[in-house]
Amino acid sequence: MFQKMLIGGELVGKDKKKSRIKVINPATEKSFAAVPKGTKKDINKAVKAAKKAFPSWAATPIAKRQDIVNKMADVLADNADVLGRLMTKEQGKPMPEALGEIAWSEGYLRHYATLKPKGRTIQNDADFKIELRRVPLGVVAGICPWNFPILVPIWKIGPALVAGNTIVLKPAPTTPVTILKFFELCNKFVPAGVINIVTDENDLGPILTNHKDVAKVSFTGSCDTGKKIMASSAGTLKRVTLELGGNDAAIILPDVDVKATAAQIYGGAFLNAGQVCLAIKRVYAHEKIYDELCDELANIANGAVVGNGAHQGTTIGPIQNKAQYKKIKKFAKSARKDGKILSGGVAEKGKGYFVNPIIVRDVKDGDKIVDQEQFGPILPIIKYSDVNKISKKANKSEYGLGASVWSKSVAKATKVANTLEAGTVWVNQALNIGPHIPMAGFKGSGIGVEQSDEGLDEYSQVQVINIAK
């Protein structure tokens, strides 16, 4: 299978051995598809096409722009099975999770299609009429990771288009197939140049972020890469939205129903094999319930069905790529040294980047497995004794994307939640996100907002029209 790039409304790229990128199925370690190896010339063509399309698209009535976004949602709904199977092959997640991502992406698009940039009248009297408008920026660059091949691009494309911008998207080189196939299907009705997709081997990012005709960069990925993008964008004073890493803490108060809480914690930690920016990545459990919670989480983890995401019954697929798999192996080794592993481990034999979900206890702040973002199926559990000091421990992290607090008393949990330094803090739940809910990060977890009206505002410029009567 060879999936071409999309530039200026045309499917481009030649299937030549030296100019293609092989896409690997992480469950088999075998190539199942290929995409073009994009070049600087392709980036320049894509930006040129987006710039050319911008004036017409910005002038398109908002209702028409919303209609195009809704039609994109229709394509997801009508092709969910095909796209879901491609996603499972390239990303590794179980088919039910892939279909769930398609459904979520459809829902996000339909919500974006209800939004519109909001202006307001500041003053209107005998002397002046002063109005605030929100106008589109121009060409947006969207740079996406490999954990959610459709959903994260949709988080950028939806609001960018509704706000009146055009976009050049760069998907991760290990998961480009599904998004390219999706926009091949959408190309029948999306005006040429409004959406462009260039694939690379992670070598074209600086060319895109430094391009003089790109007005904004929206990036989801690691903190280190985010810093490089911010520096690259500074020369032309681009707007940036950076959704970066997280090391989300779950704080368990001593009054919880341990069995019920453990099930929810497990779900919040191991969705997509733990490859979720907002996943629970460290658990602080009160000493009164520590042993019971550790054992309950281990029991749940031992029941996981780890395997090829295309096989019925699989609950956890492989790690998406070899580089991340190697990182997880190092984390597992660190966990074994610093704590006690209660369940799981890295599959050392056979094909596929498989890791059985690892629960590790008797670790502490300062250990690698606690302080660093694992981004995989590993969950450290730390014991604490003083509820009044636990927020201070959780807030020591350089990250501040999400957190959660768990208690039978909503009042007690909310009191703790109000002391945490995180963009989203859940009480008695995890990973409850939606297109109407702003998502932002504290500290090293990012700059700017995604989702909701606040996220839409990030794709427009404030303009004041000040009229003397």
Given the residues 186, 223, 277, 294, the one annotated as active site:
277
Task: Decide the pairing of beta strands 399-400 and 439-440.
Answer: unpaired
Burial (Cβ within 10 Å: 0-12, 13-18, ≥19) of residue 292: middle
Helix (H) or strand (E) holding 35: strand 30-36
Per the structure block, which two tokens stand in for 104? 């979520």
Residues 155-181 as b/e (b if ≥16 CB within 10 A, e otherwise) read: bbbbbbbbbbbbbbbbbbbbbbbbbbb
- Give the angle subtended at the CA of 164 by the CAs of 158 and 165, to the nearest 5°: 75
| 3-class DSSP assignment, residue 291 | helix
Rounded to an integer, what distance in angstroms lies between the CA atom of residue 423 and that of residue 400? 6
DSSP H helix total and E strand total for the chain: 15, 24
Residue 217 C-alpha from the chain's centroid: 15
Beta strands in 327-434 (DSSP E): 340-346, 355-363, 378-384, 399-400, 402-406, 424-427
Cα radius of gyration (the chain): 23
Given the residues 90, 97, 106, 243, the one annotated as active site:
243
Helix (H) or strand (E) holding 250: strand 248-252
* Nearest one of 283, 310, 354 to 97, comparing CA atoms: 310
- Bridge partners of 399, per DSSP, are 443
- Bridge partners of 31, per DSSP, are 24
Burial (Cβ within 10 Å: 0-12, 13-18, ≥19) of residue 287: exposed
Question: Is 454 known to be catalytic?
Answer: no
Question: Is 292 known to be catalytic?
Answer: no
- Given a contact cutoff of 8 angstroms between Cβ atoms, the answer to whether 242 and 230 are in contact is yes
What is the length of the chain? Answer: 469
- Catalytic (active-site) positions: 243, 277
